[in-house]
């Protein structure tokens, strides 16, 4: 039995793909993590219209449908992109995405992501955006597990020189 579990653990290990944030901007103005066959973009500085959530901008702007000012989103949104940065179909991701956000004050939230037809996202509490430290996203995409990390982990215990 131990041997079987060991073998299974090894296989699971092999299909995990880890990606780290790159200094590159995606088509929605967010940060990119490359996961080999595709990329994941995290957008955390977005604006949208309260009446027209499909109208989005990466800067403060007015809605092209109703002229109202766009409001800063209290959420973090993710897109899957192919290697030409075209959006991928994510309709089969239902229930397969988990996002953990670590805040500067050392609190954290872990949530199942909500899906739209083009992105998945998690809501943030008040000040969640300015308090953001790190995001760890686990997705199960086409039978493979991927883990993408954005931002920097909190370094505990002082004494480091930067």
Binding site for Zn ion (CB under 5 A): 49, 51-52, 63, 65-66
Q: Which residue, 75 or 138, has its beta carbon nearer to Zn ion?
A: 75
Q: Which residue, 42 or 63, has its beta carbon nearer to Zn ion?
A: 63
| Min separation Cβ 72 and Zn ion, Å | 15
Q: Which residue, 51 or 107, has its beta carbon nearer to Zn ion?
A: 51
Burial class (CB in 10 A: 0-12, 13-18, 19+), 147: middle
| Min separation Cβ 101 and Zn ion, Å | 28
Contact 93, 120 (CB under 8 A): yes
- Report the residue number whose CB is nearest to Zn ion: 63
Q: How far apart are CA 33 and CA 148, in angstroms?
A: 6
| Min separation Cβ 129 and Zn ion, Å | 21
Nearest to 136 by CA among 158, 152, 120, 157: 152
């Amino acid at each position: 039995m131990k041997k079987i579990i060991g073998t299974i653990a090894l296989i699971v290990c092999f299909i995990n793909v880890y990606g780290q944030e790159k200094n590159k901007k995606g088509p929605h103005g967010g940060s990119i993590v490359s996961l080999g066959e595709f990329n994941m973009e995290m957008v955390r500085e977005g604006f949208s219209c309260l009446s027209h959530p499909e109208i989005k901008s990466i800067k403060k702007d007015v809605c092209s449908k109703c002229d109202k000012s766009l409001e800063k989103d209290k959420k973090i949104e993710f897109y899957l992109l192919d290697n030409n940065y075209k959006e991928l179909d994510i309709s089969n991701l239902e229930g397969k995405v988990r996002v953990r956000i670590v805040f500067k004050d050392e609190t954290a939230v872990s949530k199942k992501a909500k899906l739209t037809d083009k992105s998945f996202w998690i809501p943030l509490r008040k000040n969640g955006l300015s308090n953001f430290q790190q995001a760890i996203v686990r997705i199960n995409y086409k039978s493979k597990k991927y883990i993408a990390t954005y931002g920097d982990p909190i370094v505990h215990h002082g004494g480091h020189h930067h």
